[in-house]
Structure 1
């Protein structure tokens, strides 16, 4: 822990300093909640947030996720003005490349739903997909889905913007302070234990991402979040790279890329990956992504790799978030399990958690994201996960 003195007490303690935590801290403090405390065992954003690809979109298959994505896009678009923090928001669109007839039918349904909810997605033909993303090979493609209002930005800058605004509004953010337990008596939260001391509190908000299952266990709440390694590469400069290249995803393989400076950021899920807190880069993955790159973006065959890293998805059984208030212990609120899409939903979720804490009605019904849903037999999986 740093040399910073912890407060003896706080009305609410947030566990986790990624996009979710800092967004929640800001929205609570801005709403007038005094003495909000946020704790993170590392630097702010050093968990999954700053390992993310930075994509922001509203192209999902579930109405809740579409709405969360769209609401957050509105914030990203105005973030620099609202928070006096540049986040390098590039509204170049998201382009999903489709090579399977069933996927085309699914995306046609999704696009209709997105349009009903105000997202200007459209199905396009292969020729237009090639025009939008010139680096791709169209071999095997049948169609594509495109939304011009999606894009990408810099996660570290978003975290800094929210953290600065939260502190200005009176919140206390303490990095390098690990939470080690939560005291519960008679069904009520009494205190949070840390490696720097004890904070008396009656409310805890879990925004611990891939580490949330342990936090939930401290209060007897099952948060079925599983860590899964995902890897990202950054290329050397790409000659003639179109600055308006959209965030392009080959849906069948999950291979994706977007512009990053003069080069590209690219990644792909690994079908052979196993769960666990693995943050090292795996050499076994490189030949697999290389094979897909050679097929879908042969123009990149001779481009060198400059750097890369590994991060963690916080997956749930149905690829939907866990968002709500615990039913078995008072004032334990959770916002986790976003299955790789927490960064893009962080602004909207901050608003929702603020309202849950203040006993207000959120702008959207989140009942379907309650962690207790897994006790039943009916799930509604999010299909547009890469």
Structure 2
């Protein structure tokens, strides 16, 4: 039988960063399990790789700020080069959406995030393809950008392994049995693993794992979202920021010599490998025509779908299970997992090592049981 202090299920950003930060706090008896043959096969490897700090919820804004700061200044012993193109972000708003965006910007300013309010004319000068778009204003954040998600995930995993964490791929957890006050026996493949603490970082599968362990089932919803990539475009500028019309839920950013685009679709599905829905490309075309007509000529050469797992109130779930002992959640990072990964892992490690008194109420799983 294999034994460890901590078994982390899921080697995406939630699990990898938690393992990394635990090892930095001297906790090295860690086994990280991943059901796929490679890390980042699902959400952590299929997202738009955008670092965005200006969001609506102050609690999430703090994590986004701290996560972006880590990505801008990696520790000296960070093992993998990670390209972070700080081209900035441009968030567009119209009507009440613009009023809300201004409030979000003020929240960012209070938390020391460098944001500016721009006129439509300023935004159009910076990204000329917006010339025909109609919006009331924009929020500019120069310290946002695009990051190499695969290198970042590899960095967390390699750094954790260098400090003693064990990582095993291609092992699907099939059973979790509480064993008195001593923790759990976890069946994965042909192995039985005795662990003092189970850390559930399985993205879309978090409630599947919770049910196995007899833990609480939480309002966490795996939602499919599509991304599209264009062929090379002679007029696209690789130095553009990512541009997000938050009032109409559409964004684009440079990708190679072309663009990556998203219609911000969201449909709840069962965990798995989400199929591509051809109708979403039609939705994207409709939104482009209505809101960013300068992109009407853009063709699509590649498309894929991935999951964003969202909680019922939109906040992350980080902390101890309210129903059973020694079962810990790092979940519900939908849409913000890359940006906040370092801060989420640090917070999870602090709670795990420091005790329940460090569990912020905003993210506690217990908030759903009251």
Query: Smaller-chain TM-score range?
Result: over 0.9
What is aligned with 1:98?
93
1:269 lines up with 2:264 in the alignment:
yes
Choose which of 171, 175, 180 in structure 2 pairs with 1:181. 175
Q: CA deviation at 1:375?
A: 3.4
1:339 lines up with 2:329 in the alignment:
no
Q: Aligned-residue CA RMSD in angstroms?
A: 2.0
- Is the partner of 2:347 in helix, strand or coil? helix
- Is the partner of 1:358 in helix, strand or coil? helix
- 1:332-383 deviations in Å (ceiling 9; x for gaps): 1111012221121111111111111112689x8621111221234xxxxxxx
What is the TM-score of this pair, normalised by structure 1? 0.90
What is aligned with 2:314?
319
What is aligned with 1:130?
124
1:82-93 paired onto structure 2 within 5 Å: 82-93=77-88
Residues 70, 119 of structure 1: 8 Å contact kept: yes
Kindly report structure 1 stretches of 4+ aligned residues shifted beyond 6 Å.
none
What is aligned with 2:325?
330
Residues 145, 242 of structure 2: 8 Å contact kept: yes
- 1:190-211 deviations in Å (ceiling 9; x for gaps): 2111113110111011111111
1:283 lines up with 2:278 in the alignment:
yes
What is the TM-score of this pair, normalised by structure 2? 0.93
1:64 lines up with 2:59 in the alignment:
yes
Residues 126, 138 of structure 1: 8 Å contact kept: no
1:136-215 paired onto structure 2 within 5 Å: 136-186=130-180, 189-215=183-209
What is aligned with 1:235?
230
Choose which of 73, 81, 84 in structure 1 pairs with 2:68. 73
Q: Following the alignment from structure 2 to structure 1, what is the Cα–Cα distance between the partners of residues 128 and 93?
A: 16
Q: CA deviation at 1:69?
A: 0.3
What is aligned with 1:370?
364
In terms of fraction of residues, the more strand-rich structure is 2
Q: Following the alignment from structure 1 to structure 2, what is the Cα–Cα distance between the partners of residues 289 and 63?
A: 30
